[in-house]
Amino acid sequence: MKCNSTILELLYVQYKSIGAFIQNSLKKIKDLTLKIFYQPYEFIRSFFLSPNYLLHYSEKFFDKEAPKMIAHNHLHHNLNPYLFKIGYGPILLDPKLFKMTNALDFGSGGGRNAINLSQLADFNLISLSDISAKNLELSKNNLKDITSCKFDFIKSNGMNINSDLRYRFIFSTICFQHIPSRIIRNSLFADLIRLLDDNGVMSFQMGYGKSRKLLSRKFMVGYNRNQHSAKVTNGKRDVRVTNPNEVIEDLKKAGAGYIEYFITPAFADKHPYWIWFHVYKTN
């Protein structure tokens, strides 16, 4: 009996090993097939699609996700020390420079950053802008008890902000990395820089770092690509910066003055690092 039991155990172990080998082989074949066939297909398809295709599905996706986002409002991201040290850094250096000026939170989601901004300086007005009307509707509830400043809510069409106000501080985080189109990002860069007042600064973040999965179907899109075929961009088809000078070049063409950037560890996402940019209206 003991001999038979030992033989059965050996057969079971061998069976598991063969099963794992087959499963791993099938995964490699699938990944190779996607790399050879799907990525060129998606690249070619994107070439013929307009930015409106991506914007349409982005709006639908974030409208659908809005209740989930509002439920926890990304509050865990407030634990990221670099959010305050670098993201809000220009305000913390001298809050008086922002007293009774306007601020804009682009890609505002549930209003978490707008709440933070209202506590960092005596702003006159904080505008929230998002491609999702449902995000804006639900974020009003999150801000209803804050009386230290005024808020307004601007529905973005994804290409521009639809505002003529001037802002001393513009902020955006976990937003531009979800826009896998250089055409769309450059349109937004130009419009956001237009909205800065003469002493204004824009602070925003993107994913950063090199990876073998940069062109993976499931993960990252190269910075220079226009992946207009993407129907899901939150964690899939994210864009990743590998060369900061490419972003700086786009910002300069959009009208930026002095630009500085900082590379930090990523926080709660699939990028190895984050890159933060401070963009000033003047030199």
pTM here is 0.82
Give the model's pLDDT for residue 237.
Answer: 80
Give the model's pLDDT for residue 47.
Answer: 57
Q: Which sequence spans correspond to the domains of the chain?
A: 51-280
Give the model's pLDDT for residue 37.
Answer: 52
CATH number for the domain running over 51-280? 3.40.50.150
Nearest partner of 125 among 117, 113, 136, judged by Cα: 117
Give the model's pLDDT for residue 270.
Answer: 81
Mean per-residue pLDDT pooled into runs of 10, the chain (283 residues)? 56 62 67 54 62 89 81 79 97 97 96 96 98 94 92 97 96 95 97 98 94 52 88 75 97 98 93 96 90
* Residue with the two structure tokens 């050879």: 36
E strand segments, 85-233:
102-106, 125-130, 150-155, 167-172, 196-208, 220-222
Give the model's pLDDT for residue 171.
Answer: 98
Nearest partner of 87 among 279, 247, 276, judged by Cα: 276
E strand segments, 107-182:
125-130, 150-155, 167-172
Give the model's pLDDT for residue 3.
Answer: 56
For 273, the enclosing helix (H) or strand (E) is strand 273-280
Give the model's pLDDT for residue 14.
Answer: 60
Give the model's pLDDT for residue 9.
Answer: 58
Nearest partner of 43 among 235, 170, 184, 229, judged by Cα: 229
Give the model's pLDDT for residue 215.
Answer: 43
